[in-house]
Amino acid sequence: MPSRAQSILPDITVKNIGGKIIVSWRNEYALPISTLNIQRSYDSLKNYSTIGSVLSPQSRENGYSDANPPYSKMYYRVFIVFEGGSYILSKPVRPVKEVPVTVVQTASGKDSIITPVERYPWQVNPLLDSSIVMPPTSSTPGIPAKPVITYPSRRIFTARDNSVVIHLPDAPTKKYTAKFFDENDRVVFELNKLTEEYLIIEKVNFVRSGWYHFEIYESGELVEKNKFFVPKDSKKQN
């Protein structure tokens, strides 16, 4: 099975995930980085333009999402400036395409593609940094305590682009099932045999904005019951 590890600067990992280009890396430089710009070009050697920068170039793991690339096979590189003025350019890299592998049927009878995708700390829902942890329920000897529930969930949550993320680090070795319900407890859809560490469910699979809840089962046993919020689309200004 291929490694999911990110490249270490000055190398970068570039992937095409559902038409979005994800540029990511790990930073192991001892010298502090003051600026890190992401650049792209149709040509591997010249005509690069800067399309963005990261707010925290010192972060151990970091990256950038190019949501609307003009061409799916452009070249990407990063321009790194260290404190003191020295700089370096990474080697140009073209995206590697990630192909959706899971198709599920929603309550309306329509097929929906669920896309496996690598997620990194810089992509995770910022609400997780201030989540509320409920204390574990006491148990009698010999009976396992109920799982600790954290809101927002660390297994299923709404990402910054309003898609819903499923994060199951041990999915390849466990037998997980997830059921999704609307606010009236009607089943929206169910996902069986979850084997990917990360999956993205597009917002369109949830008919309207609002609260949804879910149940996660491992080998038929409930391990988490929680909720997430799907926000409305922001109105575009003319």
pLDDT tens digits for 105-152?
A: 555 555 554 555 445 444 544 333 333 333 344 445 555 555 545 567
Identify whether residues 112 and 214 lie together within a single domain.
yes
Beta-sheet strand order (sheet of 75-82): 49-53, 33-41, 75-82, 87-89
- Which tokens is 70 given? 């003009």
CATH of the domain at 148: 2.60.40
β-bridge mates for residue 214, sequence order:
180, 226
Q: Is residue 31 exposed (0-12), middle (13-18) or buried (19+ Cβ within 10 Å)?
A: exposed
CA distances from 34 to 80, 92, 227 (A): 8, 21, 39
Tell me what pLDDT residue 208 has. 85
Range of the domain at 18: 13-98
Identify whether residues 84 and 109 lie together within a single domain.
no
Residue 173 backbone class (left: φ over 0; alpha: ψ -120 to 50; beta: rest): alpha
pLDDT tens digits for 6-44?
A: 789 999 999 998 788 999 999 999 999 999 999 999 998
As a whole-number percent, the residues of the chain with pLDDT over 90 amount to 28
Identify whether residues 84 and 107 lie together within a single domain.
no
- Which tokens is 179 given? 């059921």
Identify whether residues 90 and 134 lie together within a single domain.
no
Q: What is the pTM of this model?
A: 0.46
Identify whether residues 82 and 119 lie together within a single domain.
no
The answer to whether position 1 is within a domain reads: no
Identify whether residues 42 and 83 lie together within a single domain.
yes
Identify whether residues 119 and 218 lie together within a single domain.
yes
Tally of domains in the chain: 2
Tell me what pLDDT residue 197 has. 79
Cα distance between residue 137 and residue 155, in whole Å: 20
